[in-house]
């Protein structure tokens, strides 16, 4: 007889019962998919849109019916259009591309136009990026390549982006957009020399086709940036100078051109360009680096007292700004709403100088239209009070929230970038002060040893300027800023460095 303790031990060591195996869910065959979709088509043929929508929603919501999802999403996109829910229809079409790319191909042109109207290409851009082999008409090839390329560029997938953009057709509309984007992708890879050809093509096509001024000026700036990155500062200056004075990127072009002059060892040219940013017309703009570049230029010309004053002014101006930026705490949704308020000239919390670029930002403009389109669809969906209305509501709210989060994060990234930038500049200026004091001491030590404080070339430049610039009226700066003078300043300052201390050219800008 087994005792109680031995019985317990025996029970503990007994083999566990074998688990009951669950049957694997049945996978729909092609025949099953066909029958399922035929049954939906029969209901649709009766004209009962509510019943049709209910069947389609049931299919796309059921993971076990995944093989039928692509075609069902395609039919649902049409159904949502019939209910006057274009935003929801666009989202459904994006799912259709993923699940049934061949079936979605013929409707792609129509849906791309819808995306442009709504300001929302997000639902289809990712799907297009994964399904570039769609059978599409030549006339929309460039548009498709641009949308898919932008998706991969934003995700940092430069290889796939270039592969898609190589599909562009030079004989079709929109090729300039493809080439400009291809140049941008190549630049992101650090292949600036390779980026020049497509960028120059885009810039030339923009002029030839008389594209809107915004495209032409942005293409010109990108060409200039590519030349700058290759070290061809002369050509960079040439293209920066082509940017139209009324363009929203003109002031950026002037600042970047200043760097081209600086890298080309033309400190007078640098001082002329950044003098624009010091004018009272741009007091509320964010260009701390322009002020710092002025100080560095004066430093290289051995104008140590002036450089020191510029550094003092830089700290006085930008340390309070840094403190203000450090105190910003917002969610992406709050940041998005704040920029929307700024764009409509309403009250906003973020400083205008940080978010001014979003006033002219194409992507933010599209996002604003997208939210308006989503809100219009939500109002219509709420009025339906049926299965399709409830399902569309979920689709729309999800996409709407994703777009707000993405655009709001862009705004917060701008704030974070400014924080980092000012941190680095304010720290770096302290090191520059040490260099400044060291070089100034060296100059005066040499003067003490030789008995001569050599200031280099003392020949005036104004008379020579008048000779060189025929067709221009040249006069001396008199201390007043005039709007029509901005952009035309020329500096002719001589360096204060002994020839033994500096070989920096100082040709005028």
- What is the Cα–Cα distance from 214 to 224, expressed in whole angstroms? 15
CA 197 to chain CA centroid, Å, is 22
Most confident option among 11-25, 306-320, 421-435, 460-474: 306-320
Residue 37 pLDDT exceeds 60: yes
**DSSP calls for 138-175:** GGGHHHHHHHHHHHHHHTT-HHHHHHHHTT--TTSTTH
**DSSP calls for 377-417:** HHHHHHTT-SHHHHHHHHHHHHHHHHHHHHHHHHHHHHHHH
Q: Averaged over 411-429, what is the pLDDT?
A: 92
Residue 229 pLDDT exceeds 90: yes
Q: 31-148 sits in which CATH class?
A: mainly alpha
Q: What is the mean pLDDT of the chain?
A: 84
Q: Averaged over 78-105, what is the pLDDT?
A: 91
Given a contact cutoff of 8 angstroms between Cβ atoms, the answer to whether 302 and 502 are in contact is: yes
In 114-240, where do the E strands start and end? none
Describe the crossing of helices 175-188 and 141-154 by its angle, rounded to 10 degrees: 20
The better pLDDT of the pair 102, 328 is held by: 328
Q: 501 falls in which pLDDT band (50, 70, 90)? A: low
Which range is least confidently modeled, 184-193, 230-239, 498-507?
Answer: 498-507
pTM here is 0.81
Q: Identify the CA nearest to 236 among candidates 216, 275, 214, 263.
A: 263
Q: Averaged over 81-102, what is the pLDDT?
A: 92
- Rounding to the nearest 10 degrees, give the CA dihedral for residues 351, 355, 359, 364: -140
364's tokens: 């933010």
Read off the DSSP letter of residue 305: H
Structural domain boundaries in the chain: 31-148
Q: How many residues does the chain have?
A: 509
């Amino acid at each position: 007889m087994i005792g109680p303790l031995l019985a317990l031990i025996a029970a503990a060591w007994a083999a566990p019962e074998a688990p009951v195996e669950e049957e694997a869910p049945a996978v729909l065959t092609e025949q099953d998919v066909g029958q399922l979709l035929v049954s939906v088509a029969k209901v649709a043929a009766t004209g009962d849109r509510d019943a049709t929508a209910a069947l389609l929603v049931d299919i796309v919501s059921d993971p076990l019916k995944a093989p039928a999802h692509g075609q069902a999403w395609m039919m649902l996109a049409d159904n949502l259009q019939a209910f006057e829910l274009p935003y929801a229809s666009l989202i459904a079409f994006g799912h259709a591309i993923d699940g049934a790319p061949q079936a979605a191909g013929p409707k792609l042109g129509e849906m791309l136009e819808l995306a442009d109207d709504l300001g929302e290409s997000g639902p289809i851009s990712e799907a297009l990026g994964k399904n570039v082999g769609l059978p599409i008409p030549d006339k929309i090839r460039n548009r498709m390549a641009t949308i898919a390329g932008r998706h991969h560029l934003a995700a940092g997938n430069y290889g796939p982006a270039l592969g898609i953009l190589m599909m562009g057709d030079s004989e079709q509309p929109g090729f300039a957009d493809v080439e400009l984007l291809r140049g941008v992708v190549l630049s992101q890879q650090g292949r600036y020399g390779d980026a020049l050809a497509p960028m120059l093509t885009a810039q030339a096509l923009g002029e030839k086709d008389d594209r809107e001024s915004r495209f032409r000026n942005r293409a010109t700036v990108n060409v200039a940036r590519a030349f700058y990155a290759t070290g061809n500062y002369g050509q960079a200056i040439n293209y920066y100078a082509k940017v139209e004075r009324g363009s929203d990127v003109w002031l950026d072009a002037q600042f970047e051109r200043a760097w081209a002059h600086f890298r080309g060892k033309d400190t007078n040219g640098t001082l002329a360009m950044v003098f624009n940013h010091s004018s009272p017309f741009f007091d509320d703009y964010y260009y701390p680096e322009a002020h710092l570049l002025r100080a560095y230029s004066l430093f290289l010309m051995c104008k140590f007292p002036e450089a020191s004053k510029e550094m003092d002014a830089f700290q006085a101006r930008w340390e309070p700004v840094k403190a203000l930026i450090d105190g910003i705490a917002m969610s992406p949704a709050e940041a998005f709403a704040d920029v929307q308020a700024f764009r409509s000239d309403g009250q906003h919390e973020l400083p205008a100088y940080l978010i001014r670029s979003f006033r002219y930002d194409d992507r933010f403009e599209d996002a604003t239209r997208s939210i308006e389109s989503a809100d219009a669809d939500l109002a219509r969906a709420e009025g339906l009070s049926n299965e399709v209305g409830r399902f569309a509501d979920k689709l729309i709210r999800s996409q709407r929230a994703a777009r707000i989060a993405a655009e709001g994060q862009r705004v917060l990234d701008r704030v974070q970038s400014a924080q980092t930038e000012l941190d680095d500049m304010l720290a770096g200026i302290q090191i520059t002060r040490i260099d400044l004091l060291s070089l100034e001491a060296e100059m005066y030590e040499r003067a003490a040893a030789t008995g001569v404080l050599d200031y280099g070339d003392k020949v005036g430049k104004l008379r020579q300027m008048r000779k060189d610039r025929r067709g221009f009226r040249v006069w001396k700066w008199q201390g007043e800023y005039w709007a029509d003078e901005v952009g035309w300043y020329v500096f002719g300052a001589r360096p204060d460095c002994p020839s033994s201390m500096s070989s920096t050219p100082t040709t005028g800008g």
